[in-house]
Amino acid sequence: MRYDYDLFTIGGGSGGVRASRVSATMGARVAIAESDRFGGTCVNVGCIPKKLFSYAAHFRENFEVAKSFGWTTGEPRFDWPTLVANKDREIARLNGIYEKVLRDAGVEIHRGRATVRDAHTVELGGRTFTAKHILVATGAWPQVPAIVGREHAITSNEAFFLERLPRRALLVGGGYIAVEFASIFNGLGVDTTLAYRGTHLLRGFDAELGAHLAAEMVRKGVKVRLQTNPIRVHSDHTVDFANGTSGQYDLVMFATGRKPNTASLGLEQAGVELAEDGAVVVDAYSKSSVGSIWAIGDVTNRINLTPVATAEGMWLAKTLFGNEPTPVDHENVATAVFADPNVATVGLSEETARERFGAVDVYKSSFRALKHTLGDRQEKTFMKLVVDQASQRVVGAHMVGRDAGEVIQGIAIAVKLGATKAQFDATIGIHPTAAEEFVTMRTKAS
């Protein structure tokens, strides 16, 4: 059968764009449908604008630290509309780049919301198109718990477009989005409270990272309220909590998880198996229960990170059009949380490593960075290595501190290659840096 396309991609985020572009360069006839701006969550309401806001939030502290190094400046003033306008300009530039690389690769772009009719048919704007393969790359969407008054709260999607900065903000959640925005608002001078129903932040990460981050966020002025769960949001942004307390804010933001974007896509009718949360169930090659329908990125709810989605897109292109079937590789994926201070990690948490290997060696270090020694800043950098005792392979590396993501990216290569603790020890550090601590830790914590 002659299809209209070899590949029809639904969703123009990082994963969908990468899969489409690479497939086209391999000679496939490719179309992509996007109903909004190209770049998906990451470019528009995720990684990029969030990191820009994080940079902005750090300046207040940097101005203070500069005084201890002899710099005298006037009283800093922050203008929120300037930040938002400059952010919008940069995002628009990136939207254009994403669209250009698709066109340059020969991908045909369709504007609108596409749905799946059957194993080889897509419908969009009243028209149908056939494809040998259909790729679902529709991402995920923020979820707000079903409590009374939820309509008075926002999510991270809306936070990037606020007309004005609130004086008092409540962030609900304990994951990376919650701690990142709590740090952003706090750094920009907002009276910020973080409320989380759990006992420690960053569930799923090494437990010590969440504890260390919480302590540093409190030191920087964030009011961290653990085991505190909102049950009602009033129209004046007064929030009632399950423990009987309440508080009034100018802004309430929920960062309580994201749900795969599969509703009303026609997937179930086409025979595609979905998980309980709506995620597309896929195999190691990103194939769904229907042989011609594939899914990558957050819509599969595997590892919801932009670089993972783009890698999955590359692997899928190789599988479909490169004569090189390539399973996804989710082992030792490094990640960073751009809170203040930053958190970054690669490999296994101590808890998971103990479950997997039994006996592990743990090395820890906590210290005041050189940058803070001339002033009165007491912020502590925390580092941790988790080592499989039997093989002496480093199976986890974790950090809380300035530029943690930049540091762990390099460490991730060593962990991915299976480096041993002895090989870490044999590596001469760069002095004076925080990063050198990863190759100078000699005393076991346990």
Catalytic sites, residue numbers: 431
pLDDT recorded at residue 446 = 64
pLDDT digits (tens, 9 = 90+) for 67-108: 999 999 888 999 999 999 999 999 999 999 999 999 999 999
Q: 5-141+259-321, what's its fold?
A: FAD/NAD(P)-binding domain (3.50.50)
Give me the residue label for tokens 């009718």: 269
What span, in angstroms and rounded, lies between the C-alpha atoms of 438 and 429?
A: 8
Closest CA to 182 of 54, 336, 48, 44: 54
For 281-301, what is each residue's pLDDT tens digit? 999 999 999 999 999 999 999
- Residue 67, SS3? helix
What's the pLDDT at 20? 98
Query: What is the reported pLDDT for 218?
Result: 98
Q: Domain 341-439: give its CATH code.
A: 3.30.390.30
Distance CA 123, CA 116 (A): 6
In the block, tokens 């961290």 appear at 224
For residue 348, pLDDT over 90 is answered with yes
Instruction: Quote the CA–CA distance of 208 and 384 in Å, as a whole number.
Output: 9
Could you tell me whether strands 168-172 and 191-196 are parallel, antiparallel, or unpaired per DSSP bridges?
Answer: parallel
Task: Annotate 402-424 with DSSP letters as a single string.
Answer: TTHHHHHHHHHHHHHTT-BHHHH
* Sheet with 343-347, edge to edge strand ranges: 335-337, 343-347, 394-400, 380-388, 360-368
* Angle CA 184–189–195, to nearest 5: 55
Helix (H, G, I), strand (E, B) or coil at 114: coil
CATH of 150-256, one of 3.40.630.10, 3.50.50.60, 3.30.460.10, 3.30.70.580: 3.50.50.60
φ/ψ (deg, to 5) at 378: -105, 10
pTM of the predicted model, to two decimals?
0.96
Strand partners, 335: 345
CA dist., res. 81 & res. 78, Å (int): 9
What single string gives the DSSP state of each residue in 370-409?
GGGTTSS---EEEEEEEEETTT-BEEEEEEESTTHHHHHH
Q: Strand, helix or coil at 108?
A: strand
Report, as an integer, the average pLDDT of 366-378. Answer: 92
The tens digit of pLDDT for each residue in 119-154 reads: 999 999 999 999 999 999 999 999 999 999 999 999
Q: What pLDDT score was predicted for residue 73?
A: 80
Quick one: pLDDT band at residue 181, thresholds 50, 70, 90? very high
Q: Do domains 5-141+259-321 and 150-256 have the same CATH topology?
A: yes
- Estimate to the nearest angstrom the gap between the alpha carbon of 286 and the chain centroid: 20
Where exactly are the structural domains of the chain?
5-141+259-321, 150-256, 341-439
